[in-house]
Amino acid sequence: MKNIVILISGRGSNMEAVVRAAQAEQWPARIAAVISNRADAKGLAFAADKGIATAVVANKDYASRAEFDAALRTAIDGFAPDLVVLAGFMRILTAPFVEHYAGRMLNIHPSLLPHFPGLATHEQALASGMREHGATVHFVTAELDHGPVVAQATVPVLPDDTADTLSARVLVQEHLLYPRAIRLFIDGKLSIEQGTVRVDTQ
Ligand code: GRF
């Protein structure tokens, strides 16, 4: 049984999609914990309801990024994770933290990377005039939103879209994409070769 630790900062709808898929598909993995950097993250209630251990490591309680990351790492490692899943975790992580979880930490980003790293991705997509937008699951590396890509989903950008309508369309795909990508990791089907992800399709 592999242990997955999920980090959230807010709503937690991607975390919820992962928890539901793990249950429905009876993954050979358990969601060992959901950890948030904010005590008011809505997703914590869903996790607790499902009987999943929850913890809060509040970044505002720490004087520096390094101290926060050290405390977060201690909390995560208490659950012996095989995989750490960032699901709307809104903190920039230090290089030593990222290095500690190299090859075993995934993130979902609401754009077709390498387009639009950072924030306000839907606004950026609309402003760019791109006809397609989407979401990316990638391994986390020290450079924000730049790690090796595991999987992507695309959606059309429609003429009357606002950031809200576009983000809702992307979110539907995120909820399908992230569980699928995590399942590949759990099943041992992902490897990183020369900075790109190889998916074993056998
Ligand atoms: C998602 O759009 C995710 O791609 C991004 O932050 C948002 C989090 O939403 N990283 P939720 O908390 O999973 O509902």
Give me the pLDDT at residue 42, please: 97
Residue 191 has pLDDT above 90, yes or no: yes
Q: What is the mean pLDDT of the chain?
A: 97
Question: 11: Cβ below 6 Å to ligand 1?
Answer: yes
pLDDT tens digit sequence for 84-104 = 999 999 999 999 999 999 999
Q: Looking at ligand 1, which atom is closest to the CA of residue 170?
A: 2
Give me the pLDDT at residue 142, please: 92
- Three-state SS at 99: helix
pTM recorded for the entire structure: 0.97
Mutate to test the pocket of ligand 1, among 113, 174, 176 (most ligand atoms within 8 A of CB): 174
What b-and-e string marks burial along 46-57, b requiring 16 or more CB atoms within 10 Å of the CB?
Answer: bbeeeebebeeb
pLDDT tens digit sequence for 14-60 = 999 999 999 999 999 999 999 999 999 999 999 999 999 999 999 99
Q: Looking at ligand 1, which atom is closest to the CA of residue 14?
A: 13
Task: List, by residue range, all CATH 3.40.50.170 domains of the chain.
Answer: 1-101, 106-135+145-202
Residue 61 has pLDDT above 90, yes or no: yes
Question: 174: Cβ below 6 Å to ligand 1?
Answer: yes
Question: 179: Cβ below 6 Å to ligand 1?
Answer: no
Question: 91: Cβ below 6 Å to ligand 1?
Answer: no
Reference 105, options 22, 163, 190; nearest CA is 190
Q: Pick one of 3.40.50.170, 2.120.10.60, 1.10.357.10, 3.40.630.10 as the CATH number of 1-101.
A: 3.40.50.170
Give me the pLDDT at residue 36, please: 98
Residue nearest to atom 6 of ligand 1 (CA): 88
pLDDT tens digit sequence for 108-133 = 999 999 999 999 999 999 999 999 99
Give the CATH number of domain 106-135+145-202.
3.40.50.170
pLDDT category at 201 given cuts 50, 70, 90 is confident
Q: How many CB atoms lie within 10 A of CB 74?
A: 10
pLDDT tens digit sequence for 49-59 = 999 999 999 99
Q: How many CB atoms lie within 10 A of CB 95?
A: 11
Question: 109: Cβ below 6 Å to ligand 1?
Answer: yes
Give me the pLDDT at residue 202, please: 78
In sign, the C-alpha dihedral spanning 164, 141, 74, 17 is positive
Q: Looking at ligand 1, which atom is closest to the CA of residue 174?
A: 4
Give me the pLDDT at residue 37, please: 98
Give me the pLDDT at residue 18, please: 98
Residue nearest to atom 1 of ligand 1 (CA): 88
